[in-house]
């Protein structure tokens, strides 16, 4: 099983773009019991990946729940890093 931050990034190989809710739904079966699998921590991981050039913001909207949903997409640099560390 991959470390959570790698799993979050690896999710973007499958579905791109995605927001935090889509990522968490996909990872829930494997990581749902992890203490660090909390919405605010996954958001922090996504924002850190963006600041490090692994993800880009591709879209955003305010959902029916009144929350801001930011959609991220994997950058070419992010793809290279994933391919290097997660074959």
Domain map (residue ranges) of the chain: 4-85
For residues 76-82, give the mean pLDDT.
Answer: 94
Q: Evaluate if residue 32 carries a pLDDT over 90.
A: yes
pLDDT score of 10: 93
* pTM of the entire predicted model: 0.89
Distance between CA atoms of residues 31 and 26, nearest Å: 9
Give, in words, the CATH class of 4-85.
Answer: mainly alpha
Contact by Cβ (8 Å): 82, 26: no
- For residue 47, with 0-12 CB atoms within 10 Å meaning exposed, 13-18 middle and 19 or more buried, which class applies? middle
- pLDDT band for position 6 (cuts 50, 70, 90): very high
Looking at every residue in the chain, the average pLDDT score rounds to: 93
For residues 60-73, give the mean pLDDT.
Answer: 92
């Amino acid at each position: 099983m991959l470390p959570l931050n790698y799993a979050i990034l690896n999710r973007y190989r499958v579905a791109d773009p995605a927001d935090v809710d889509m990522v968490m739904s996909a990872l829930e079966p494997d990581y749902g019991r992890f203490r660090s699998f909390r919405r605010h921590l996954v958001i922090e991981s996504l924002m850190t990946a963006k600041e490090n050039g692994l993800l880009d913001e591709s879209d955003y909207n305010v959902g029916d729940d009144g929350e801001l949903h930011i959609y991220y997409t994997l950058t070419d640099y992010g793809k290279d890093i994933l391919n290097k560390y997660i074959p």
